[in-house]
């Protein structure tokens, strides 16, 4: 449906080149070993996405074209105001898609793949889920077509945004001064990947951090707090197929164990703020508690991750 798919493939050589430079830095300058096994897992997951991309135009394009044919207006993209609608419009849709991916368990089943990496490094940017269509990520962009934004333009903007996010997956870049107020930076994104309790489910922005500031989901790195990456409940495997299927299997198990249809639906779509381990099929009778004073929004992400010590290489 989106034009950013082939565009993204054209940018892949640049991404691989940047990964090679990062590896060289680790080998020649860095004091830590490079996470080779994590890199291989991330590249494997990216490779699994490629054949599925061929199905996306067939599965999603008809609905997108139908909505476009019934659009309320046509936003002219050869004008400044048209571009002024396109960029924040895509950013806004991405923010809520990303946030929903953390707060709705059905969507988290796809989003969790990206958060399984236990080190922050550029190759981790390629660790993306393959079940986004099933989760419904693409539905968040349909209103953009309805208001008159062309599909190709939206896809192109998503491609630019996706490429921008690649460089955010690093701990080799510190804070960027005043830019931290407006842009999504490596500092912001490191916290997004944190499994520390007070940092869970923050900084959802794409290129901008302003939506997080407006909707109360922004968080800042603290010098006294060491960031722990990965899941609160680690999968314990670098097998790409297990990484993809883990949360879907866990969710299916919880649905089977549920005692009523109402509880089955809650297992699929609930967004209850619970302590780790309370996301069972007991009808919600587990221990319920506030995550922390600064944790905004409930999230299956919080439930399916646990604090982890030093990760393996």
DSSP secondary structure, 60-115, as one string = HHHHHHHHHHT-S----TTSHHHHHHHHHHHHHHHHHHHHHHHHSHHHHHHHGGGG
Task: Please state, in angstroms and rounded to a whole number, the distance separating the CA atoms of residues 135 and 230.
Answer: 21
Number of domains in the chain: 1
Domain range spanning residue 120?
1-313
**Distance between alpha carbon 177 and the CA centroid of its chain, in Å?**
25
The interaxial angle of helices 4-28 and 36-53, nearest 10 deg, is 170
Say how far apart CA 127 and CA 169 lie, in whole Å: 11
Rounded Cα gap, residues 98 and 159, in angstroms? 16
- 3-state DSSP assignment of residue 263: helix
Instruction: Please choose, from the candidates 254, 294, 235, 218, the residue with its C-alpha nearest in 3D space to the C-alpha of residue 105.
Output: 254
Each residue's pLDDT, cut to its tens digit, for the chain (313 residues) gives 444 445 556 778 899 999 999 999 999 997 889 999 999 999 999 999 888 777 777 778 889 899 999 999 999 998 999 999 999 999 999 999 999 999 999 999 999 999 999 999 999 999 999 998 899 999 999 999 999 999 989 989 998 998 999 999 999 999 999 999 999 999 999 999 999 988 889 999 999 999 999 999 999 998 888 999 999 889 999 999 999 999 999 999 999 999 999 999 999 987 633 334 444 433 332 222 222 222 333 344 443 333 333 333 4
């Amino acid at each position: 449906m989106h034009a950013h798919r082939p565009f993204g493939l054209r940018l892949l050589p640049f991404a691989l080149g940047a990964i090679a430079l990062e590896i060289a830095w680790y080998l020649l300058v860095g004091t830590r070993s490079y996470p080779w096994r994590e890199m291989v897992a991330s590249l494997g997951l990216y490779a699994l996405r490629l054949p599925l991309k061929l199905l996306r135009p067939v599965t999603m394009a008809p609905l997108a074209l139908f909505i476009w044919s019934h659009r309320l207006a046509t936003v002219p993209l050869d004008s400044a105001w048209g571009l002024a609608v396109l960029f924040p419009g895509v950013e806004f849709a991405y923010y809520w898609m990303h946030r929903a991916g953390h707060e709705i368990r059905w969507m988290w089943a796809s989003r969790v793949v990206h958060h399984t990496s236990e080190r922050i490094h550029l190759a981790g940017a390629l660790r993306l889920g393959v079940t986004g269509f099933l989760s419904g990520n693409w539905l968040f962009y349909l209103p953009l077509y309805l208001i008159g934004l062309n599909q190709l333009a939206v896809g192109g903007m998503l491609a630019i945004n996706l490429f921008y996010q690649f460089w955010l997956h690093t701990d080799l870049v510190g804070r960027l001064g005043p830019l931290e107020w407006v842009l999504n930076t490596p500092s912001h994104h490191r916290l997004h990947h944190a499994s520390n309790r007070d940092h869970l489910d923050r900084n959802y922005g794409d290129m901008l951090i302003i939506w997080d500031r407006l909707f109360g989901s922004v968080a800042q790195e603290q010098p006294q707090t060491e960031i722990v990456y990965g899941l609160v409940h680690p999968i314990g495997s670098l097998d790409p197929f297990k990484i993809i299927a883990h949360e879907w299997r866990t969710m299916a198990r919880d649905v089977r164990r549920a005692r009523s249809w109402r509880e089955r639906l809650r297992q699929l779509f609930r967004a209850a703020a619970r302590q780790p381990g309370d996301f069972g099929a007991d009808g919600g009778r587990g221990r319920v508690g506030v995550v922390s004073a600064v944790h905004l929004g409930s999230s299956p992400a919080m439930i399916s991750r646990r604090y982890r010590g030093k990760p393996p290489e």
